[in-house]
Amino acid sequence: MKKLFAVIGDPIGHSMSPIMHNDLFAFYDIDGCYLPFQVKSENLGEAVKGLKAIGAGGFNVTVPHKSNIIPFLDEVDELAASIGAVNTVVNENGKLKGYNTDGPGFLMGLQMLMPTTKNKRILIIGAGGAARAIYFTLAKEKPAIIDIANRTAAKAQHLIEDCPYPVSSTAYALVEAGKITAEYDLIVHTTLIGMTPNIEEMALDVNNVRSKSLICDIIYNPLETKFLRAAKEKGALIQNGIDMFVYQGALAFEKWTGIFPDVQRMRNNVLKQLGGNGC
Ligand code: ATR
């Protein structure tokens, strides 16, 4: 019998996950179907119960439900619990277990350009949900430091205090951090500044970035943000958010089916939908 998979969020219309996962079900000859469902916050519990009752194989969770879904699940894995956010749910013999593949997905994409983050000096820009997933995941990799720069430095400080894994970290305001970008091997931008339609905005000054350092932006629309473009002009290596998106999806697909899918195929599919060639 065909297995249902889904993504729940609000809004959900622009999600590229259905095309990505349905293509994989067809490619691997799996009798599955992945559908988007717009779920209002007040209906989240009922929606989760419904997906469980009809025996859905699993589902993704997106904004604004990633944290609020936790009380409705039977179990949450350790990393997702520490992040306080779930983006992937697996129906394990009738029990719903929540995972977070955003941070690990970012790390897998990163490893294509930076095979290890051990002993690296890292700066994360932003202190919201995405920053949290990436920070906690990278903290487990034993980097030299992970500093956090945020518009509200106090929020960066709170994030540092919340991290359950030992890592040396300092909180900075954005302007302060912009002056010391030369100190970092890796800088990861996690806010939505510079995303379409606000493509002329950037969160941090990159005039001082070191050439050959790696600068990542989790945004993929546009494929090259002003932030990435400016860093590239300074000789830095750059990576947009496509890889994080594709790898978080690949890890979810693996949890549902046991198959780690062809990420190049997924990447090409996503790029086709975005109508570009990536960077
Ligand atoms: P997400 O879950 O997608 O990471 P979020 O939790 O709403 O989103 O966090 C948004 C991040 O973008 C925060 O770091 C926020 O900074 P504050 O903590 O100071 O609010 C940052 N952000 C949003 N708009 C911003 C802006 N105009 N300038 C600077 N930072 C901004």
Q: Which residue has the tokens 């570009």?
A: 276
123: enclosing H helix or E strand: strand 121-125
Q: How far is the CA of 24 from the centre of ligand 1 (A)?
A: 33
Reference 73, options 54, 95, 50; nearest CA is: 95
Q: Which atom of ligand 1 is nearest the CA belonging to 126?
A: 14
CA distance 136 to 144: 14
Q: 38 pairs with which residues across the strands?
A: 9
Taking CA 25 as the corner, what is the angle to CA 85 and CA 244, rounded to the nearest 5 degrees? 40
Q: Kindly report the number of other CB atoms within 10 A of residue 250's CB atom.
A: 24
Q: Which atom of ligand 1 is nearest the CA belonging to 174?
A: 29
For ligand 1, atom 2, which residue shows the shortest CA distance? 129
For ligand 1, atom 5, which residue shows the shortest CA distance? 128
Q: How far is the CA of 153 from the centre of ligand 1 (A)?
A: 11
Q: How far is the CA of 272 from the centre of ligand 1 (A)?
A: 29
Q: Which residue has the tokens 């790696």?
A: 214
For ligand 1, atom 18, which residue shows the shortest CA distance? 152
Chain-centre distance of CA 246, in angstroms? Answer: 9
What confidence tier does 264 reach under pLDDT thresholds 50, 70, 90?
very high
Residues with CB under 6 A from ligand 1: 126-131, 150-152, 155, 190-191, 193, 203
Q: Which of 66, 151, 199, 218 to mutate to test the pocket of ligand 1 (most atoms within 8 A of CB)?
A: 151
What residues are labeled active site? 66
pTM: predicted TM-score of the whole model, two decimal places: 0.95
Average pLDDT over every residue of 114-126: 98
Q: How far is the CA of 55 from the centre of ligand 1 (A)?
A: 36
**Mind listing the pLDDT tens digit for each residue in 58-111?**
999 999 999 999 999 999 999 999 999 999 999 999 999 999 999 999 999 999
Q: How far is the CA of 173 from the centre of ligand 1 (A)?
A: 13
Q: Which two tokens stand for residue 263?
A: 């990420």
**Mind listing the pLDDT tens digit for each residue in 185-229?**
999 999 999 999 999 999 999 999 999 999 999 999 999 999 999
Q: Which atom of ligand 1 is nearest the CA belonging to 155?
A: 18
240: enclosing H helix or E strand: none
Does pLDDT of 279 surpass 50? Answer: no
Does pLDDT of 275 surpass 90? Answer: no
pLDDT of residue 276: 59
What confidence tier does 239 reach under pLDDT thresholds 50, 70, 90?
very high
**Mind listing the pLDDT tens digit for each residue in 129-162?**
999 999 999 999 999 999 999 999 999 999 999 9
pLDDT of residue 40: 98
Q: Which of 125, 191, 221 to mutate to test the pocket of ligand 1 (most atoms within 8 A of CB)?
A: 191
